[in-house]
Amino acid sequence: MNEPKSLQLISEEACRFIYKNYFLDEIANGKDTLMYCYGDRMIVNICNMQNRFDFLFVFNKEEFDQLKTQCSDYDPIKHGDTGWSVRVSVCDMESWELAKQLMLAKMIPNREPWPEETRKKSVNGGRCDMCVHHIHHTSNDDDYKKYVKARLDDRWGDDCGHDSPCQGQQKGCGASFPVGLPFGMSTSADTLTYGLLPFVKDLM
């Protein structure tokens, strides 16, 4: 499905917001539905419609009480005595801002900031110091290197060539990826952290 330019922008903005702020698993049906989950807790369900994205949030009583202190421009549906759902049709940046506020009310950002003391940027905006190539050649922690390599392999298989010297700071690693809501594949939070996010331009 070819998305209008405005929906492409929303898809990118939503994806960058989630990646930068949250450590969540992506669970996709391979077609038009994407969930972001923390363990077995669904944070948001996103459906790709022809002319919009539908964001669905389900709140328990504590979360709903928090929502009421942060945002008022929504239309909840009550489920029993302790549950509410809110669906937002996102078709422009204004409606995306509402979806963003609902997500912040649903869950406080939980992604640990990446270290500033080791920050190294590639020429195309990635984080060299969080990339497997850099870690492989600079870290003395073999368990950490194996862990990071496994996450990279989960995402890309054996195609990355992690044993090669890093060229990212001088030439650009060639792995600066555009982002957008990935309805086509599921990815764990750990794999996102080391297998994709270091290569997203100016994310961290």
Cβ neighbours of residue 192 closer than 8 Å, sequence gap 6 or more: 19, 26
Instruction: Name the residue with tokens 């600079």.
Output: 138
Check: CB of residue 15 under 8 Å from CB of residue 199.
Answer: no
Predicted confidence (pLDDT) per residue in 4-23, tens digit: 778 999 999 999 999 999 99
Q: What are the chain's domains?
A: 5-106 (3.90.1150.20), 128-199 (no CATH)
Contact between residue 136 and residue 162 where contact means Cβ atoms under 8 Å apart: yes
Q: Nearest to residue 5, comparing CAs of 49, 56, 51?
A: 51
**What angle, 0 to 180 degrees and rounded to 10, lies between the N-to-C axes of helices 61-70 and 93-106?**
130
Could you read off the pLDDT of 42-101 as tens digits, one per residue?
Answer: 999 999 998 999 999 998 888 888 888 777 777 788 877 778 889 999 999 999 999 999
Centre a 10 Å sphere on the Cβ of residue 150 and count the other Cβ atoms it contains: 14
> What percentage of the chain reaches a pLDDT higher than 70?
81
Provide the total of helices (H) and of strands (E) in the chain, helices listed first.
Answer: 7, 6
Q: What is this structure's pTM?
A: 0.83
